[in-house]
């Protein structure tokens, strides 16, 4: 039984973390793909500004991002003032925070992949009767497989390791907003090193395995698509 | 078709009617707007103003613009633009699968046979040569059963060997499929070999247009100048002198002898004669080793950019020949327009 070496409490944190990472990755793919597509093709003067905003989470302390999100989503924030739902300290709030936090890890690989596809290749598809959506599915998606794989893996793995943003807007409600990284922090605070070891080891192994799988698969695709 | 396109340092203004059959060459120097004009026809330049009607159907006017993927054109790009994630067969069938079955006139088996692609179907794109890629690009475009085939310098990115390999396939397309072709090129030898009709472009405008044979011998156009200046003659029939290993091309103004050729499988016998390969004499030549000697009338004498040369336009039956001779010869023979001369032809290329 897993409960012999991992407490139900920690198991819930692990489950919640995986769920958060999965939901965040799906949301990021849905929002990030059109954004990356736009960034890869546009000549708009706003492009550089938007690119900088997307990259901000790379350099900003997560607590700063978390703080602003708390201000936005919290009980005194504009969303609740306009009659919106209370999002701070809920799972939805965590997803919103994670989406911002992991945005560059999804958008940048996708943008690079899309930019690497020659305009001429898409024009050829158009002259072969493929409409815009058809061109996206039959040419852009297969030619940017590696970009998508990288985006999914990095987006998922990066969300797994999230700490600062979650702490700021999610707090530490077990079973609801407590993720693994915060559970580890709690265990260390309580000098329960054994439990901290189990969770840390799990997170380490999981992250390594995902990255290893990514590099292996990317290497294979490279051989097929030079 | 009528187009008006403005870019930073370039303006394309074209208003022209193109024949609905045969091969029409868009000919001109690099940067004169040939490719842009072709892209306008394909619908790849959405910012262009203008009107385009093809076979009586409107593809573009003030009110509407048919997007590229709804225009029944086949486009062969200079660089091929094949899909690297698909096999040769996948590339060939990409457009074919997107055409409604009842509109599929050109069939995959015919195209693979016509273009000699039988052994390559399972290959990936990076495993085939440049010449083979261009053949796949042509096949892929043909399999959409287009109403017009647009070819943008399909041979420009190829070396001499690959070009020589592809030209016969292009000629076969011309003969076996009755799809009108707009063919962009800046190589006069390619154009002389393939085209029936020609649009001569200069700085975004049409300088002249007409049947190829007339245009390349028009003395007021730059085509008659330079090393590649030539005339194209159309032969009426072909016969063979089997024991002498010669073939005779019968033209309205005489007969040309060439080393034995096999009967071309097309209807038209096309002969290209370079201006530098034609010399002239006042009298019928004395018995000599030169086989091809034809009686012609001088129509026009013009200056050549080379100060030591001038160019004669000769009338042979209903067709024209060009001859480039030195000014000195012209003076010594006292040649004038209207004179009758004997033209010796040193080289004949049956194309």
- Which distant-in-sequence residues (6+ apart) come within 8 Å of B115 by Cβ? B135, B136, B138, B139, B169
Residue A3 in contact with partner chain B when CB distance is under 8 A: no
Most confident of A44-58, A159-173, A210-224, B268-282: A44-58
Nearest chain A alpha carbon to B150? A127
Contacts of B284 (CB under 8 A, 6+ apart): B293, B295, B342
pLDDT digits (tens, 9 = 90+) for B192-224: 888 888 888 888 788 888 888 888 877 777 777
Mark B89-108 as b/e (b = at least 16 C-beta within 10 Å): bbbbbbbbbbbeeeeeebeb
Asked if the Cβ–Cβ distance from A118 to B126 is below 8 Å, we say no
Domain ranges of chain B: 2-215, 230-349
The CA radius of gyration of chain A, in Å to the nearest whole number, is 20
Pairing mode, strands B23-27 and B181-185: parallel
Higher local confidence (pLDDT), B87 or B281: B87
- Beta carbons of A225 and B85 less than 8 Å apart: yes
* DSSP per-residue letters across B49-105: EEEEEETTEEEE-SS-B--GGGS-EEEE-TT----TTSBHHHHHHHHHTTS-GGG--
Share the mean pLDDT of chain B: 82
Q: Could you give all domains of chain A from N- to C-terminal order, each with its CATH number?
A: 8-224 (1.10.3720.10)
- What is the rounded distance in angstroms from the CA atom of residue B168 to the CA atom of residue B116? 11
Whether residue A124 and residue B83 make contact (CB cut-off 8 A), yes or no, is yes
Residues B93, B86 contacting (CB under 8 angstroms):
no
Confidence band of B350 (pLDDT split at 50, 70, 90)? low
CA distance A146 to chain B (A): 12
Q: What is the pLDDT of residues A62-117, one digit of tens each?
A: 889 889 988 888 877 787 777 777 777 888 889 999 999 999 999 999 999 999 99
Q: How confident is the model at residue A142 (pLDDT cuts 50, 70, 90)?
A: very high
Topology of the domain comprising B230-349? OB fold (Dihydrolipoamide Acetyltransferase, E2P) (2.40.50)
Provide the pLDDT confidence category of residue A2 given band limits of 50, 70 and 90: very low
Residue A144 makes CB contacts below 8 A (sequence gap 6+) with A110, A113, A114, A116, A117
Residue carrying structure tokens 């940067």: B31
Crossing angle for the helix pair A91-115 and A8-41, to the nearest 10 degrees: 40
Find the angle CA(B12)-CA(B14)-CA(B15) to the nearest 5 degrees: 160
List the one residue out of B22, B317, B67, B49 whose CA is nearest residue B171: B22
What is the pLDDT, as a whole number, of residue B5?
62
What is the CB neighbour count within 10 angstroms for residue B67?
13
Q: pLDDT digits over A19-35, tens only?
A: 999 999 999 999 999 99
What value does the mean pLDDT take over residues B90-105? 90
Question: In the structure, how many helices (H) and strands (E) does chain B have?
Answer: 8, 21
Strands B278-281 and B57-60: unpaired
Taking an 8 Å cut-off on Cβ atoms, the answer to whether A128 and B79 are in contact is: no
Selection from A94, A100, A86 nearest residue A13 by Cα: A94
Radius of gyration of chain B (CA): 22
Question: What is the side-by-side order of every strand in the sheet holding B205-211?
Answer: B73-76, B148-152, B181-185, B23-27, B197-202, B205-211
Least confident of A205-209, B54-58, B65-69, B179-183: B54-58
d(CA B231, CA B229): 7
Chain A neighbors of B140, CB-CB under 8 A: 128
What are the tens digits of pLDDT across the range B212-256? 888 887 777 777 777 778 888 887 777 888 888 888 888 887 888
Q: Across the interface, do B94 and A138 touch by the CB < 8 Å criterion?
A: yes
Which residues of chain A lie closer than 8 angstroms to B99, CB-CB?
A: 129
Beta-carbon separation of A127 and B94 below 8 A:
no
- Find the CB nearest B98 among A120, A129, A142: A129
Homologous superfamily (CATH) of B2-215 is P-loop containing nucleotide triphosphate hydrolases (3.40.50.300)
The whole-number pLDDT of residue B9 equals 59
With bands split at pLDDT 50, 70 and 90, how would you rate the model's confidence at B332?
A: confident
Q: How far is A27 from chain B (nearest CA, A)?
A: 28
Distance of alpha carbon B183 from alpha carbon A16, whole angstroms: 62
B257 C-beta neighbours (distance < 10 Å), count: 14
Q: Which residues neighbour A105 within 8 Å (Cβ) at sequence distance 6 or greater?
A: A151, A154, A155, A158
CB distance B87 to B119 below 8 Å: no
Q: How far apart are CA B47 and CA B36, in angstroms?
A: 12
How far apart are alpha carbons B23 and B232 in whole angstroms?
A: 15
Put simply, whether A130 touches B (Cβ < 8 Å) is yes
pLDDT digits (tens, 9 = 90+) for B296-318: 888 888 888 888 888 888 888 88
Spatial separation of the C-alpha atoms in residues A4 and A10, rounded to whole Å: 12
C-alpha A138/C-alpha A80 separation (Å) is 43
Considering only CA atoms, which of B7, B29, B51 is closest in space to residue B201?
Answer: B29
């Amino acid at each position: 039984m897993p409960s012999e070496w991992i407490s139900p409490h920690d198991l819930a944190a692990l489950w919640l973390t995986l769920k958060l990472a999965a939901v965040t990755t799906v949301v990021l793919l849905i929002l990030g793909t059109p954004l990356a597509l736009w960034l890869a093709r546009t000549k708009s003067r706003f492009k550089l500004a938007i690119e900088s905003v997307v990259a901000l989470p790379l350099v900003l302390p997560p607590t700063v991002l978390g703080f602003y999100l708390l201000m936005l989503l919290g009980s005194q924030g504009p969303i609740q003032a306009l009659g919106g739902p209370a999002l701070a300290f809920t799972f939805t709030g965590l997803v919103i925070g994670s989406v911002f936090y992991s945005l560059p890890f999804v958008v940048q690989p996708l943008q690079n992949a899309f930019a690497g596809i020659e305009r001429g290749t898409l024009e050829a598809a158009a002259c072969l009767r493929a409409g815009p959506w058809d061109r996206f599915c039959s040419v852009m998606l297969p030619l940017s497989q590696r970009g998508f794989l990288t985006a999914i893996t990095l987006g998922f793995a990066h969300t797994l390791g999230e700490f600062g943003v979650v702490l700021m807007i999610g707090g530490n409600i077990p079973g609801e907003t407590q993720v693994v990284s915060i559970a580890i922090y709690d265990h260390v605070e309580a000098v329960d090193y054994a439990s901290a070891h189990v969770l840390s080891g799990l997170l380490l192994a999981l992250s390594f395995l995902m990255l290893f799988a990514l590099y292996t698969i990317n290497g294979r695709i490279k051989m097929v698509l030079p | 078709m009528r187009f008006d396109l403005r870019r930073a340092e370039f303006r394309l203004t074209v208003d022209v009617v193109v024949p609905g059959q045969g091969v029409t060459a868009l000919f001109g120097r690099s940067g004169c707007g040939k490719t842009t004009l072709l892209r306008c026809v394909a619908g790849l330049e959405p910012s262009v103003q203008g009107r385009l009607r093809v076979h009586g159907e409107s593809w573009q006017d003030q009110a509407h613009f048919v997007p590229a993927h709804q225009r029944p054109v086949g486009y062969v790009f200079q660089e091929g633009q094949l899909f690297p994630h698909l096999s040769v067969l996948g590339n060939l069938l990409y457009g074919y699968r997107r055409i409604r079955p009842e509109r599929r006139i050109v069939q995959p088996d015919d195209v693979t046979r016509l273009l000699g692609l039988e052994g390559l179907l399972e290959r990936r794109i990076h495993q085939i040569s440049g010449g083979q890629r261009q053949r796949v690009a042509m096949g892929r475009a043909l399999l959409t059963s287009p109403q017009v085939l647009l070819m943008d310098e399909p041979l420009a990115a190829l070396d001499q060997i690959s070009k020589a390999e592809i030209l016969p396939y292009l000629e076969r397309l011309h003969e076996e499929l009755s799809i009108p072709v707009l063919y962009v090129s800046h190589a006069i030898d390619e154009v002389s070999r393939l085209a029936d009709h020609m649009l001569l472009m200069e700085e975004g405008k049409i300088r002249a247009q007409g049947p190829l044979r007339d245009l390349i011998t028009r003395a007021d156009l730059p085509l008659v100048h330079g090393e590649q200046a030539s005339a194209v003659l159309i032969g009426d029939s072909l016969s063979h002198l089997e024991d002498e290993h010669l073939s005779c091309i019968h033209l309205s103004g005489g007969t040309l002898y060439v080393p034995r050729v096999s009967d071309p499988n097309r209807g038209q016998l096309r002969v290209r004669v370079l201006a530098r390969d034609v010399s002239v004499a006042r009298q019928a030549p004395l018995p000599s080793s030169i086989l091809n000697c034809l009686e012609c009338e001088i129509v026009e004498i013009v200056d050549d950019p080379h100060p030591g040369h001038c160019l004669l336009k000769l009338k042979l039956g209903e067709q024209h020949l060009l001859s480039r001779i030195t000014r000195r010869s012209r003076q010594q023979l006292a040649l004038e327009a209207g004179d009758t001369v004997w033209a010796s032809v040193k080289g004949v290329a049956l194309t």
